[in-house]
Amino acid sequence: MLRGLFKFLNILALVVLLCSCLATYVHPKAYWQLSFIGFAFPIVLVVNVFFLLLWILKRDAFGLVSLFAIALTWKFIQSTFALNFSEPNNESGIKLITWNVKCFDLYNWNKNLETREQMMALIKKENADVLCLQEFYTNNQLFHNLEYLRDSLGYPYVYFFPSVDLRKTPKTKLQQTLWKKGELHQQWGVATFSKFPIVDTGRVDFKNSFTNDCVYADIKMNNEIVRVFNVHFQSIHLGYDDYATLDSLKENQSAPWGSLKNILRKMKRAYTKRSEQAIAVAEHLEEFSGKKILCGDFNDVPVSYTYNTAKNNLHDAFVEKSKGFGATYANRFSIFRIDYTLFDERVKINSYKRIQKELSDHYPVVVSFSL
């Protein structure tokens, strides 16, 4: 009887595993539930591996069913859990960093200057040739981030598209004292910095979002033009109450259904918007015949419609040069990779690494490549 129960649970886990893979092909607008199952792919995979090992230990032929089903999902396992143990990383060539810098910790008022200094020090130490930064922030008062990167850290070529551009005049005496230039000019967006000349720029217009964006820069690298797409796909936009609900779940406490429903609603909306944005980026990638790189914060896992659509025929630097889950969401319990660097097949990937320093809610990803 116990064996029958385990078989039933194993079959159920296998069905969920195979359904999660369908999330990469089915648009969330058509069947959004699959997106949630795809998100859980790593967990469902671990459950299925547990069952496979169980049948092997018991020398039960039913293990062949588990093995066959897991083998069918091998492509998705590779994109989730990289297995590269033979060829070592070679950091020669051109170096690129992609990083969601979370406004350089603008809103953590107690330590934002300290964190910003550490982030800039990291960028200086890595000394990359190209920086692709999402959730970039700069202003004309205290946080001269654009000018600092350009003039002090040696990135003379910049393409910054501010999706949010605000100007405020001082209204209080304190503001008049602090805002030495009389007006606070704040800008948020996606920014690409380069030590190589940028010869042309453009933008993929996300018509369904005002705060998320994709820009591209044609960069002249060693006498070759490479188009670098820097993308920040739709965020979920969780609020303080949402994070409090998730913290309650982490601590094994109950959470109000209304709060959970609100989080699920936001996730559903984000899945749909991201998918439409990924289609727009994929069309631009297809139209450009030259060498290209797509990197940035996808806000989605590898087993997703967003990743599969945007990636298309590009090569994933993580899959080719890393190992393990490679989580880029900066949380000690996270196994989710949501930041990517994807390359044209005519570009040779030399190395991949993520720097596990929690200066933002994303880890910086550093890739080197040769043309």
pLDDT-derived band at 23, boundaries 50, 70, 90: very high
Over 80: is that where the pLDDT of 88 sits?
no
The amino acid that residue 290 corresponds to is: G
- Average pLDDT for residues 99-110, to the nearest whole number? 85
Of 107, 165, 100, which is closest to residue 131 (Cα–Cα)? 100
pLDDT, position 36:
87
Other Cβ atoms less than 10 A from the Cβ of 124: the count is: 13
What residues are paired with 354 via a beta bridge?
Answer: 365
pLDDT, position 342:
97
Over 80: is that where the pLDDT of 62 sits?
yes
The amino acid that residue 120 corresponds to is: M
**Whole-model pTM over 0.75:** yes
Q: What is the pLDDT of residues 213-272, one digit of tens each?
A: 999 999 999 889 999 999 999 988 765 565 555 555 555 555 565 666 777 888 889 999
Please tell me the least confidently modeled range out of 33-42, 82-91, 275-284.
Answer: 82-91
Class of domain 94-134+196-370: alpha beta
Interatomic CA distance for residues 267 and 264, integer angstroms: 5
H or E segment and range at residue 78: helix 74-80
Q: What percent of the chain has pLDDT over 70?
A: 88
- DSSP annotation of 269 reads H
pLDDT-derived band at 324, boundaries 50, 70, 90: confident
What residues are paired with 293 via a beta bridge?
Answer: 228, 343
Q: What is the pLDDT of residues 105-114, one digit of tens each?
A: 888 766 777 8
pLDDT, position 302:
95
Helix (H, G, I), strand (E, B) or coil at 51: helix
pLDDT, position 196:
97
pLDDT, position 86:
60
**C-alpha separations of 41 from 13, 27, 299 in Å:** 11, 17, 15
- Average pLDDT for residues 286-291, to the nearest whole number? 94
Please tell me the least confidently modeled range out of 39-53, 58-72, 239-253.
Answer: 239-253
Of 203, 192, 119, 202, which is closest to residue 157 (Cα–Cα)? 192
CA atoms within 13 A on the CB side of 94: 23
In the chain, domain spans? 2-80, 94-134+196-370
What the block records as the tokens of 363 is: 């880890």
